Every structure is written in structure tokens, then in C-alpha cells.
Amino acid sequence: MIKKASRLNKFGEYYFSKKLREVAQLKAEGLDVINLGIGSPDLSPPQEAIDALTQAANQAGAHQYQSYRGVPELREAAADWYVRNFGVTLNLADEILPLIGSKEGIFHLSMAYLEAGDVVLVPDPGYPAYTNCAKLADATPLPYDLKAENGWLPDLAALEKHLPENAKMMWVNYPHMPTGARATQAFFAELIEFGLRHNILICHDNPYCFILNDEPMSILNHPKAKQIAVELNSLSKSYNMAGWRVGMLCGAAEYLSAAQQVSSNIGSGMFKPAQLAAAAVLRLEQSWFDSLNVQYQERKIIAAQLLQTLGCEAEPEQSGMFIWAKAPSNIDDIEVWLDRILHDTGVFLTPGFIFGNNGARYVRVSLCNTVEVLGEALERMKDFGN
């Protein structure tokens, strides 16, 4: 066998890819598993997406390679969406870069801006891709603390005291996954000043902005934002289109052009019908989000009862498609406890440690299941003795 590149030794297999193999094995052995782990929206995308996709699939040129910068219809719709929802004006020509999902943008930005010797500030707890993409780029991820007592916002003054000189990039993500915490414009303003003071590129990852969130916000709304911040957005959660792989990177042309230098050497544009479908849904009215959130709200109530039954404590005001809850203090080993829940009840919950040390005492429940399925999971918890 050929030896793998040593960079792959810097991180292991993704937790879910390993754990879901175990879950599949339990299913094969006859356990009726309810997966409340993964956040893959189960609801249908807007019909407008399907219609635009099928229509576009019959157009001449639809199946050819596409522009590296996305079709103009998608950039126009995205620019309009940013104005309507966030009050942010983006230049059509060069301040929006459509992406195959926002996750690839994390990789592109990392490859474009990081190298050996650079430090990247990553949230703890936080989305594991920030850390692993930093490692792929040979940079060093440095976790910064997010704590319940600070509303899961970083303490920038504390961070500043121990900031390494070679810190070059910082990942932030509000509404935050996994905690469901929200930021404020005042916090974004502080963050931009922090980035400007220390010459740190602030990368805001914003895929949950419309889920159970009354105040969708963009970091780019700040007048100085484009100097030092970029933002990733995505249609995966906002329009139940996770499998379509449509996202975008927004910000100053210089930052986007560096990311595009990476992306254009890996990909070859995005499937045109998917881009036109994305453009169609970005033009939908607020009522789309209203009805989506009615469903998530119903689910959230049952998921909260489930967590309460287990003795977990959750903040009621969480945004996004998950509930984040503190495990009961009498449980010593959360992973062992969740494994016992899985084996005894067939309900799979995500342990918070996979998002970082500050998640160690927490569990995460996904709202990507119907009320019936969540109700069944709740019934099973009632029979489970801690």
C-alpha cells in the first residue's frame, strides 16, 4: 500500500462517519434507531426550486461547464437577497462568489489565506471543519472559549491578552452551531475592530440565519466590515436544500478572488439548473421562512420535553436546527451515557465533546425529524432510567 500524506495524521475520521457505521450495525441487528444526531433538513425544498431545476435542465447549454463565478441570475438574486434581508449592498460583479455549499468555502478560505506558521482562531465549541481545514492548510488552529455565562460569545478582551502575533484568521458563526446562540450588531462591531486592530481576517459562517431566528443578521452590515470580514451563507438549511450544494461567499473582491483562485483549480463551476433553482428560491418572500419556522417550533417543543425527561437543561431561546442542552450533573461520562441511551432506547443523540472541550458536558438534539418521530423518541426516554 502507498503511504498516506502525513497531513492526514493531524485529524481522525469525522465523528459521524464512524458513529453512523455503529448505528447502521445496530439497525442491521434489529434495533429500531431514531437518529436525532445529524442536522440534515428532512423537509421539502420550495416547489419553485424543483420547477426551476426541471425547466432549466431542458435549456441549451445547461449541462456544460459553467462560469467559475456562478451564473449572473444567481449572483443577482443573491445580491438582492442580501439587500432585502440584511441591508447589505454587494457588488454583483465581484462581491458574491457562489459555492458548492458553504463548507467548501471554509476549505477555500483556509487554503487561500493560511500556511505553516499561521494561527487560526476557532470557536470551542464549534463546527469541526474550521479546525480541520486549518490543519489541511498546515496552519495551527487555536480554540477560543465560548461559555454559557457569556452567552456563548467570545470574550475579546481576554482573547486579546494572549493573542499570538501570528494569528491571521478567526472563525465565527452566529447563530452558533451547536449552542444556538445569537450575536448582536454591537458584538459584530467589536469583532470588526478587533480584526482591524490585529490584522485578522474575520470569517463569519452564517448558514443558520433564518432558522428560529427573528433577527437575521450579516456581519457585512457594518460599514467597515468589508475591510476585514467575509461571510459564508448557504441554502442548505434556509431552503431545505442541503443535498443541492449551494452556498456563497460574500465580501470584498480581493478576498473573494483569492478564494476563487483556489476553487477554480479544484472545481469547474456549478450545475446550471441548480444555480437557477437557487436564484428562484432566493427571491421567495418572508412567508417561506415563516412557515418553515412554524414546523421547527413545533419540533423544538417536543425535543425540549425529551431533553427535560433526561434531566438535561436547555436555554429556551436558541436559534438554528438543534437544541443544545447541559447533561445532568450526576452523569460522569456523557459518551457512555449516550451510548447507553442508544443501546437501550435506539435514540441517537450527539455528544457535545465532538465540538470541543467546552461542549464536554452537553448534548445536541437535531430538529430534522417529524413531530411523530420526535414524539416516539420522547416516549422511549420516559422508559429510560438514568
Ligand X SMILES: Cc1ncc(COP(=O)(O)O)c(C=O)c1O
Provide the grid cell at 238: 434556509
232 dihedral zone (left: phi>0; alpha: psi -120 to 50; beta):
beta
The whole-angstrom separation of Cα 38 and Cα 365 is 8
Helix, strand or coil, per DSSP, at residue 262? helix
* Binds ligand X by CB under 6 A, chosen from 101, 195, 269, 351: 101
**β-pair type (229-234, 247-250):** antiparallel
The reply on whether position 102 binds ligand X by CB under 6 A is: yes
Nearest distance, CB of residue 144 and ligand X, angstroms: 16
The whole-angstrom separation of Cα 35 and Cα 241 is 19
* Binds ligand X by CB under 6 A, chosen from 19, 69, 75, 103: 103
Nearest distance, CB of residue 291 and ligand X, angstroms: 21
* Binds ligand X by CB under 6 A, chosen from 45, 154, 207, 269: 207
What is the phi/psi pair of residue 141, to 5°? -75, 135
The reply on whether position 242 binds ligand X by CB under 6 A is: yes
The reply on whether position 366 binds ligand X by CB under 6 A is: no
Burial of 357 from C-beta contacts in 10 A (0-12 / 13-18 / 19+): exposed
Nearest distance, CB of residue 130 and ligand X, angstroms: 8
Provide the grid cell at 86: 440584511
Cβ-proximal residues to 357 (8 Å cutoff; 6+ apart), any chain: 124, 143
Nearer to ligand X, 314 or 321 (CB): 321
What would the x/- binding string for ligand X be over residues 247 to 286, using CB under 6 A? x---------------------------------------
Nearest distance, CB of residue 364 and ligand X, angstroms: 11
Nearest distance, CB of residue 101 and ligand X, angstroms: 3
The reply on whether position 82 binds ligand X by CB under 6 A is: no
Binding site for ligand X (CB under 6 A): 39, 101-103, 127, 173, 177, 205, 207, 234, 236, 242, 247
